[in-house]
A and B are shown apart, each in its own frame.
Chain A
Amino acid sequence: MTAAVHTTYTVPIGFMDALQITILIMVAAGATAVVLVRRQVHQVLVLSIYGVLLAVLFLAFQAPDVTLSELTVGAVVLPVVLLLALAKMRKREQ
């Protein structure tokens, strides 16, 4: 067990637990929202917001390196890829 060390980064007792639980609930709500939104373009935008939530989750669980990856891959690159695929499909249907 680690002893309590006071640094400039020390937060009040229970703060990290509260933060982690809050963000876990937000991620669960975000994931549900991605499934419930049925219009494809809207769904991609919600997915992008969900990517940001997931990035914050990783940060709250002390994985800043994963945060950096998730922020770009989950919130930018994946939505861009999906939007391009949707645009291509719309063209083919026409």
Chain B
Amino acid sequence: MTPAQRRWVFGVGIAGLAAFYLWGLSGLPGFGNYPGPYGFIILRLAVGQTHATGVVSAINFSYRGFDTVGEEFILFTAAAGTAVVLRLLRGERERSAVDQAADRDVPPTSGAVRIVALLFTGPVVVMGWWLASHAQTSPSGGFQGGVILATAFILLYLSGEFLVFKRFSPVDLTDLVEAVGAGGFAAIGVAAVPMGLAFLTNYLPLGQFPGAVSSSGTIALISFFVGMEVAAAFILIIGELLEQTLLIRQGR
């Protein structure tokens, strides 16, 4: 294909894309105009029905809980997939767990980096834990809390070496936490079925008043399990990538 022909094909493609894009844009509702009824209904009913003042969490873990189970297992599968793809292959071997680069000397981690990373590790853990356990009262939730918890382990790696990261997140334990998190969510949902309720019905007591940490029944509990699953999944993925980068080499 000559360059002129290519330009012609590109021109037709881009013109078609622009036409469809503008056509689509012309049919959009105005900025900030919400045409559907469900948002308004949920906003009116959610706090009274679920006793969760974090309405986003009420939607994620109760009204649309079924979607969230799916998302949960997408991440679960992604972590498992990473572990399978990045396993030690034939013709590869593991090296010592010390940082090194091929083309230059690795400077030792500076004291400033170590201290900043260590100073932040504790607060990051507290923040992640708080977010994962306060989905019912704030715009947080298990996913946000879990990811932030996982970044505490990245800080651990920055403050020391890969071995430190491994000591604080042994693969067996992280696997277990991930499985309990994902399984816990599913188990809470399935437990409603023997009671004659639909999957993921909120069957726990909702608490005395909306906005209390102990309120919202299964929503708070599910969020916490999601936090466990997400934190463990991200730690596993980062750990696998670190291992692949630092330890595994071609050849014997």
A contact set with B: CB distance below 8 Å: 64-65, 68-69, 72-73, 76-77, 80-81, 84-85, 87-88, 90-94
A72 touches B141 (CB 8 A): no
Report the interface size class on chain B: 20 to 34
Check: B180 CB closer than 8 A to any chain A CB: no
Closest chain B CB from A24 CB (angstroms): 11
Query: Are B101 and A90 in touch, CB under 8 angstroms?
Result: yes
Contact at B144–A90, with CB atoms within 8 Å? no
**At the interface, is chain B mostly helix, strand, loop or mixed?**
helix
Q: Is the CB of B241 within 8 A of A85?
A: yes
Q: When the two chains form their complex, are residues B245 and A80 in contact, meaning their CB atoms are under 8 A apart?
A: no
List, in ascending order, chain A residues with CB within 8 A of B141's CB. 65
B234 contacts A77, C-beta separation under 8 Å: yes
Q: Nearest chain-A residue to B103 (Cβ)? A: A94
Contacts of B131 in A (CB 8 A): 68
State the B residues within 8 Å of A (CB). 56-57, 101-103, 131, 139-141, 143-144, 147-148, 150-151, 154, 234, 237-238, 241-242, 244-245, 249-250
Q: A65-B139, A81-B241, A84-B245 are in contact. Are A90 and B102 (CB under 8 A)?
A: yes
Binding site of A, secondary structure by majority: helix, strand, loop or mixed? helix
- Residues of the B chain whose Cβ atoms lie less than 8 Å from the Cβ of A84: 238, 241-242, 244-245
Are the CB atoms of B237 and A72 closer together than 8 Å? no
Whether A80 touches B154, Cβ cut-off 8 Å, given contacts A88-B245, A92-B250, is yes
- Known A68-B140, A77-B234, A85-B241; further 13 A-B contacts with Cβ < 8 A: A68-B131, A68-B144, A69-B147, A72-B147, A77-B151, A84-B242, A84-B244, A84-B245, A85-B245, A87-B101, A88-B244, A91-B101, A91-B249
Across the interface, B245 reaches (CB within 8 A) one of A68, A87, A94, namely: A87
Candidate in A65, A76, A85 with the most chain B CB atoms within 10 angstroms: A65
27 A–B contacts, CB within 8 A, in A order: A65-B56, A68-B139, A68-B140, A69-B144, A72-B148, A72-B151, A73-B147, A76-B151, A76-B154, A77-B150, A81-B238, A84-B241, A84-B242, A84-B244, A85-B241, A87-B101, A87-B245, A88-B244, A88-B245, A90-B102, A90-B103, A91-B102, A91-B245, A92-B250, A93-B102, A94-B102, A94-B103
**Once the chains bind, are A65 and B144 in contact (CB under 8 Å)?**
yes
Distance A84 CA – B139 CA, assembled complex (angstroms): 31
Which A residues lie within 8 Å of B143 (CB)? Answer: 69
CB neighbours (8 Å) of B144 from chain A are 65, 68-69, 72
Ranked 4 nearest A-B pairs via Cβ: A94-B102, A68-B144, A64-B139, A72-B147
Q: How many angstroms from the CA of A44 to the CA of B151 in the assembled complex? A: 17
Q: Which residues of B have CB within 8 Å of A65? A: 56-57, 139-141, 144
Docked Cα-Cα span, A13 to B26, in Å, equals: 27
Name the residue of chain A whose CB is nearest to the CB of B100.
Answer: A91
List the A residue with the shortest CB-CB distance to B60. A65
Closest B residue, CB atoms, query A87: B245
